[in-house]
Amino acid sequence: MTQTQPAPTQSTKKQQQLKPLGNRVLVKRLAAEEKLKGGIILPDTAKKKQEQAEVIAIGTGTKDKNGEAIPFPVKIKDRILMEKYSGQEVTLNDEEFVILRADEIIAIVER
């Protein structure tokens, strides 16, 4: 009995196009607030870089000195906290992503 593969979703297609290697993680920054508490709307140039991101894909992993696989601290769709200027910014199909090392992830944001 054969199972049919589900149609690839948009995030699956991105994952297939850009697969991080080693201990790297592909993330997409979450949208920054456009309005301040006082109701002032910020232009794009005044917005600060968002430190929260969603994990889109994880790399192939690394091994310790005994050859054992080191598990990733995050999984796909986790919301993470990262340093503002960490990682390498890349653009794919007019969308911006960041590739960073797993050890550059500061925390996992619980929802």
How many helices (H) and strands (E) would you count in the chain? Answer: 1, 8
pLDDT at 8: 44
At 62-75, the pLDDT tens digits run: 999 999 988 889 99
Q: pTM of the full predicted structure?
A: 0.71
Distance, in Å, from the CA atom of 87 to the CA atom of 27, rounded to the nearest integer, reads 10
pLDDT category at 99 given cuts 50, 70, 90 is very high
Unique residue bearing structure tokens 């456009």: 34
Q: What share of the chain is helix, strand, coil (3-state, %, to 5)?
A: 15, 35, 50
- Pick 94 or 42 by higher pLDDT: 94
- Convert 48-77 to b/e letters by CB count within 10 Å (16 or more is b): eeebebebbbbbeeeeeeeeeeeebebeee
Using the predicted structure, report yes or no on whether residue 37 has a pLDDT greater than 80.
no
Distance, in Å, from the CA atom of 78 to the CA atom of 51, rounded to the nearest integer, reads 14
pLDDT at 48: 56
pLDDT at 20: 93
